[in-house]
Every structure is written in C-alpha cells, then in structure tokens.
Amino acid sequence: MPIMTDAPFLSSPADYAAAVATAVQAATAYYTDGGTPLGDDEYDALLRALATYEEAHPDEVLPDSPSGKVAGGAVQGDVPHSVPMLSLDNVFSAEELESWAAGLERRLGHPVAAWCVEPKLDGLAVAARYRAGRLQQLITRGDGLAGEDITHAADAVLGLPAVLTEPIDVELRGEVLLTSAQFEHANQVRTAHGATPFANPRNGAAGTLRAKDRPYRIELTFFGYGAHGLPGLDHAALLLRLADLGVGTAATTAAHPLRCTTLVEVQQRVEEIAVLRSELPFGIDGVVIKADSSADQQEAGSGSRAPRWAVARKLAAEHKVTRLLDVEWNVGRTGIIAPRAVLEPVVIDGVTVTYATLHNPADITRRDLMIGDRVFVRRAGDVIPRVEAPLVDERTGAEQPIAFPEVCPRCGDAIDREEQRWRCVRGRNCQLVASISYAVGRDQLDIEGLGGTRAVQLVEAGLVTDLADLWTLTREQFLGLERMGETSTDNLLAAIEAARTRPLNRVFCALGVRGTGRTMSRRIATHFGSMAAIRAADADTLAQVDGIGTEKARVIVAELAELAPLLDRLAARGVGTAVTAPQAPASSAVAPDQEDAAAGPLAGAAVVVTGTMTGPLAELTRNEMNELIERAGGKASSSVSKRATLLVAGEKAGSKRAKAEELGIPVSTPEEFAALVADYLA
C-alpha cells in the first residue's frame, strides 16, 4: 500500500500563517461544494504539518487553524444536532494504526473485545431523523454541533427509506454519495440541461444535496453506519439492525464491514479493502476501524472532534490536481482518433502520471477543458488515468482552447465525425501495420515470425494491403525481403498456412471488430457457430449474445458491413470458413460445441483464474485458459464476486484467493482443475 505524501516543513510563523490560510481555503471548498484546490494527500499532509508546528509552538496557534475542528471549522449550520456529529482521526500506516490501537487499549485498561472494519466512504456525512418510522428531517454534519437542513433532497437518496420497516424513533448517521454510475448519469443530465459537469463524485453529491428547484432529478445513495436511538448494540449488530429497518449499508458490497478479533485480522482486512478499491462502484478514501463493543465505545468516550474508539486508516488518494499541458491526437488500429492529455507529472496512488485519457472531442467540450487548466485527475487501480474536470475558479486568463484536428493526424485524410469518437475515413487502412500485427498475435491467428518489423516490411513493399493478402504471399516474395533466409521463410509460410484453420473465435477476434475482444469473440462464435451466421445476424439477433447490448450490437453490425470485402477475400482463401453449427438462425439451432458445453463438467459455472498456472496448464495463456473454461461449459470471469462458483488459484494467487475463501467460493489448484476438464484439454 503506498505511503502517504510526507508533510511539508513549516519553519517560521509566516510559513505557518500561509499554511493555515491554504488549509482553510481547501477545507471550505471541500466541505461546502466538494471541490478543492488541493488533492486529498496534499490536504492531509498540510494538516499534519500544522499539527506538528502547533505542538512545538502552542503560543502561536491561530484561531482560524483547522486543527482539532470538525470539518476543519470550515462550515456551520442552523439545525442543532441531538448528539454532536464528529469527524474521525486519521492514521496513515500500519505502524500508526497499531500505535493507535495500543493507546486505546491502555485507555480502556484491557484488550478491545473485537474490531469492526469497514470502508471509509467518500461522500457527505448526514443525520436522518425518523419519528414513528417516518423520515422527518435530513441534516448535514456542518460543524458537528449544527448542520444544514437538506430534507428537500431526501426523496432522491436511495437507501434512505421514507418509511422504516418498524415505527420507531431513531436518528441515523451515514454517508450520502454518488456511485460511479450515478456520477456519469448526473453529468449526462447536467450537460443535456446546459449545466457544467461535476468535477468529481463528491462535488456532485455536495451540489445535489444543496440544490433546490432544479428542472431535473439526480439520484444519490445512502450508506448507514451509525444510529442514536438503538442503544446497547455492538457495531456489527447495529449494522445488521439498520439493514433490517430497510436502510442501505455497505454490507451488500465487496468491501462489507467485517468483525475482527485481532489486530492482525484488522490489518489484513485493511489490505483487502485497499485491493478491492478499484472494483467498488463508489469512491472510498480509507478504511474505518472501530471498537465493536458498545461497552468499549462508551468507556473510551469522545474528544471535541472525534471519538476515541474509532479511527480512519487513510489510503493514498486516487484523485489529484495537476495542470493540463497539451492534448495529443493518436490514431488507433481501427482508425479511431483518440485525444490524450499531457499532464504536469503527478503521483497518484504510488504511480507517476504524465498522460490521461480524454475519450473523445465531445468529452473535452462537455468538460470545458482548456490548455493550462488546473484539472482533477483520477486513477483507480490499474485503470488508465482520466481527466475529470477543470478548476474553473483558478483560471488566470492565460489558458488556451484545445485545438481539434481538421484532418487525420496520421495520414492527412478526412475525418468521419458522425460518431462521438472521431475516425479516419480510411479506417483500419490508416493503421494497417497495427491491424496486421494485432491479427497475427498469439491469441488471434498466432502466426509466429510475423511481428511488427516484418509487418512493416510487407506493407511498405506493397505486398499486403489487408489481412487476406497474407495467404497470397509466395516464397519468392518473402526471400526478397531484407534478412529473410530460406529457413525463416519456410517457417513463416508454414505458420501462415496453419493459421488458415484457426477456430472461428480466433479468426473473428483477429478482425479487431470495435466493441469486441477475446472473450466477446468466443461468445459470438459459440452463439452463431459460423462466420456466415454472424454476418447474417442483425442487431436484434446479436444483442441476444451475453454481454452485447443494443448499442454495441449496432456498432458490430456496422463494423461487419465495413469489413464485408475483407471477409469475402478471407473466405475465398479458406480462412474462417469452418462451420460448427447448421446454416440456420442461431435462435433455432444449437451448435454441436454448444451441446458439448452444456453437458460439460463446468456447465453453468462462473470460473475465475488467478496466479501462475502449473502442471498440465503451465503452458496455457490466460486467453487459452478462458477458452478451455468455455469449452467445458463454464463462463470465464475476471473478478471474484458472489456470482463466481470456482476459483482456480495458481502460484502467487494473492488477494483473489483470500476474497474467494471469505465468500465461501471453492478454490481449486491448477492440477485439480486440469483433472476436472481433462477431456477438453487440447
């Protein structure tokens, strides 16, 4: 887990005063509208620097300092809380967490009975007051003593029922946020109404909760984590009670709260949630560790800012603020012209980021981006970094509009602007070398010896104008190329000939159809059984394939129409012509391989593969493993969830194995799995 940014050193009263002003400005922005001129790491580091200076110079502490104040003292409210609504203290490493836990146990005079570990949700803390089971009032945390009445927004918050399942008086405490899907939908709605997109989900949640009289509705989500009016319950039991009342909690998520009896288990769960972070459908900025026992909580008590029995183990920020220096326009192998942001280098989640995706020209326009903007950048797990929004309030007037290309930046031909993603009118021919190199790769046609350099030679010599030309090449033509001897020529010709009979899914994947990949190509091939049946399918028929919706089906049909001349040429050369299903509509005929799969040992199973395979499976690529699973009747999956039915765990299986064991999913070694599917191994 990455270490948090080191705190800056404040060496003088002037440095300290400037740091206080910066922290107050950042806290005010963060706790009022969700925006901030600082990233989370920078803000946390600044607060630690202030605390260090104030501890060394107690006589110089400024009254405006955010230290020790709920929400940094940045917000107030006019609705008093029945019980103070506090913040949490933070720790930034396993060692700091261990020290905090030891301090709590010293205060209690005995070991903590148990701990509860749950995600620290990146939203806005609220209190929801119920009378006789009916929601009466929704209030922000404010300064912890009083908050702002936002009851007008309650009907748009999922997980916060208007009526509980029991007619009781209770005040719920929890977090309101925008999930990833809600955030994307919110910005689509705002753009359609001429409004500026939200910079990030927290900004969106803050703005939505406070907004009144909008001509549109944006849904949010509530996760409850506490309550007043349900005394005597330990924390884990309280969360179950909230769920029984019909309240949304994190218990339904992969990062569900977990009761741990030792600090070792706590640390392990923190690491697990950190790994799960990129897969969660909502943002988190840490993990909360609480003494589970209500008796321990009561005995430990609270300070003016935070309870002594709970702490937040902060994680490295996935959002940072940096500067947009330029935009590059790159052409992909299918002719798509993709913009890429060039950034002032910034470290996000332990990785130095200098480039980020901008998706398409419409995305740039929607986000109102300009060269020179200070921008929010997000990186979740291994996902490509993405520019989310500019900090419009920080513009100086020196920013410049982003110039969109007038012609294809690679070949100079015209641009097709009919779709949101612009494309060179030459399509795949604009990047023919890239298309050929992809098609002959190991997981597609597997033509060894025909890598990038050789593909460049063939294209530049005019010997290959599309994929089908590979099967017209002669021995003499290869020998005429630089550094091609007789042995390498014969080997390459043999590899090209062998590729003529590759399975349908490999041939289809080699086409590089937009909206498909290796997994989708297998599903399409299994569903239709022949290239002729695939080409004859309309969008409605294609949409019946698992994982293909209406929009993707439309794109695939259009792609196949564009590829029709190439497909005709491939068929004339005997490539992709193998038929594994009767020449009839897919809905009225079942292919033999489908019948075999339905009766296979993995029929109906969702199988996840992780780690390094050993034994009979040692030489298989991950794609070949997925093909094996589907031949045996199963469905290959990339993530461990409740829908998974089996995990094949090789060497260095990592967190997926731990998660599968936690969910009770059977775990198989590669050797055990090989024995199970022995009849389907090639």
pLDDT tens for each residue of 480-522: 988 889 999 999 999 999 999 898 989 999 998 987 888 888 8
pTM of the model: 0.57
In whole angstroms, give the CA distance from residue 328 to residue 341: 6
**Which of 560, 579, 596 represents a domain boundary (last residue)?**
596
Task: Kindly state whether residues 258 and 146 are assigned to the same domain.
Answer: yes
Question: Do residue 287 and residue 374 come from a single domain?
Answer: no
From 572, 596, 620, the end of a domain falls on: 596
Query: Which residues does residue 667 pair with via DSSP β-bridges, in sequence order?
Result: 647
Q: Are 548 and 463 found together in one domain?
A: no
Residue whose structure tokens are 């206080």: 20
Return the HEC string of 27-72: HHHHHHHCCCCCCHHHHHHHHHHHHHHHHHCHHHCCCCCCCCCHHH
The CA-based angle 263-264-265, given to 5 degrees, is 90
Same domain, 466 and 521: no
CATH number of 345's domain:
2.40.50.140
120 counts as catalytic: yes
One domain for residues 239 and 103 = yes
pLDDT given for residue 8 in this prediction? 64
Q: Which of 279, 314, 349 is the last residue of a domain?
A: 314
State the pLDDT at residue 3: 35
510 and 563, same domain (yes or no): yes
Same domain, yes or no: 84 and 156: yes
Dmax over CA atoms of the chain, in Å, equals 89
- The secondary structure element, H or E, covering residue 284 is strand 284-291
Report if residue 410 sits inside a domain.
no
User: Could you give the number of structural domains in the chain?
Assistant: 6
Which regions in the chain score pLDDT beneath 50? 1-5, 381-382, 581-597
Query: What are the tens digits of pLDDT across the range 416-469?
Result: 998 888 999 988 888 888 889 889 988 889 898 887 788 899 998 899 999 999
Residue 25 domain flag: yes
**Residue 73 has what pLDDT?**
58
Is 418 contained in some domain?
no
Claim to verify: residue 279 and residue 146 sit in the same structural domain: yes
In a domain, 536, yes or no: yes
Give the N- to C-terminal CA distance of the chain in Å, as an integer: 40
Q: Which residues are CB-neighbours of 609 under 8 A, at least 6 positions away?
A: 622, 625, 626, 629, 636, 647, 648, 650
Same domain for 116 and 257, yes or no, is: yes
Q: 120, 314, 656, 659: which is the annotated catalytic residue?
A: 120
Which segments of 45-196 are extended strands (E)? 79-80, 89-91, 115-121, 124-131, 134-140, 146-147, 157-158, 170-177
Chain centroid to Cα 475, Å, comes to 49
CATH number at residue 18: 1.10.287
The reported pLDDT for the residue numbered 682 is: 64
Q: What is the pLDDT of residue 25?
A: 77
- Residue 247's domain comprises 79-314
Q: Which backbone phi and psi does 394 adopt, to 5 degrees?
A: -95, 5
Residues 293, 211 share a domain: yes
Q: Assess whether 347 and 237 both reside in one domain.
A: no
Question: Is residue 490 one of the residues assigned to a domain?
Answer: yes
The alpha carbons of the chain give a radius of gyration, in whole angstroms, of: 29
